[in-house]
Amino acid sequence: MDLKPLQFGSVTVDFPVLLAPMAGYTDAAMRTLCLEQGAGAVYTELTSAEGIRRDSQNTFAALKTAGGEHPIAGHIFGRDPEAMAEAAKYVEQTGQFDWIDLNCGCPVKKVVSRGAGAALLKDLPTLGKMISRVRKAVSLPLSVKTRIGFNQDTADHLDIAHTVEESGADMIAVHARLAKNFHGGDPDYEKLGEMKQLLNIPILGNGGVQSLEDAERMVRISGVDGVMIGRGAIGNPWIFDSIRRGGTDACDTVRPASIGLQEKREMMAEHLRRLVELNEKKQEISARAKRYTAEEAACIQFRTHIPYYVKGLFGKKQLLMKLARLMTVGAIMEEIDRLVEKNQSCEAR
């Protein structure tokens, strides 16, 4: 796929296929795996500006990086321009991030009900004020993650694009679906193309990319400057390497099923190991009483990833039904090994 390096502000992304920010998924464990598999850049999880303002330990933990994670954006959300400016200053002062990203597209009810995320698409003056205020508060490059609109009755994609650029953002990433549709329906790559024609700043396309072919189709139709991959990377960090290589071997469809069983098993083991390590570091910096050990917390967090890793495998239902009772790495890997052995036996027949 023919994509040029992405440049905005002081940031250069040599390979502009990026891992999208996803709450509950894109912690340092997943980010580092995706970077090693070729992701051009990564974002932190959704991080509350009000949480930063209130010195929330959970919020600070969401901004914890593993070190060496570059390029990386600190991804924050909120509605109040002053709170967002304060949060952006904090993110910049940590010295961990290459740029700051504002979430203006999350459709989840608890975010929208606060007037944040996608709710800002119903109030473009506030959206513009927030971007402008953050732009004045920090020197790091600034980007905005948004959607083509909230619903059919609110501001359209071109008004959103104009507001983001005129308010001072250096780059925009757009999920090509309305917020009301969440992840349902076909993404509208034509609207991405219209935004690309209007904008002078770079635009990333997001939504519906599960394979090399999807990424190529998005770029061909819209002409976007880069591709952002979210759910397509869960349980499938190999997607970045395959797109980077242009699909030159058996993994070119970038489907988890095309990855060898043993390779998949080793990736799950490594993902779990990194989650344990991440939770150990989090518990070291928190004075709060611990409900779970670092290993137990890692096992709970990994439950959201396992269904994607084992997608398409014979007998996966038995593993998934046991997940709530598996609270050690050894117990999880024992069940995964049983599943791998069962599928290897099927392949050998």
CA distance 295 to 32: 19
Q: φ and ψ at 153, to 5 degrees? A: -100, 0
Which residues are CB-neighbours of 62 under 8 A, at least 6 positions away?
27, 44, 45, 46, 47
| 202's tokens | 């770079």
Based on DSSP, count helices (H) and strands (E) in the chain, helices before strands.
Answer: 15, 11
Beta bridge partners of 229: 19
Q: In this structure, which amino acid lies at residue 161?
A: A
Q: Do residues 146 and 165 touch, judged by C-beta distance below 8 A?
A: no
Q: Do residues 73 and 99 touch, judged by C-beta distance below 8 A?
A: yes
CA distance 16 to 161: 20
Grouping H, G, I as helix, E, B as strand and the rest as coil, residue 76 is strand
| 132's tokens | 């402008």
Q: Do residues 65 and 91 touch, judged by C-beta distance below 8 A?
A: no
Q: φ and ψ at 268, to 5 degrees? A: -65, -40
Chain centre to alpha carbon of residue 151? 23
Instruction: Give the residue numbers marked as catalytic.
Output: 106
Q: Do residues 118 and 162 touch, judged by C-beta distance below 8 A?
A: no
Grouping H, G, I as helix, E, B as strand and the rest as coil, residue 59 is helix
Q: Do residues 158 and 119 touch, judged by C-beta distance below 8 A?
A: no
237 cis-preceded (ω within 30 degrees of 0): no
| 278's tokens | 């991440």
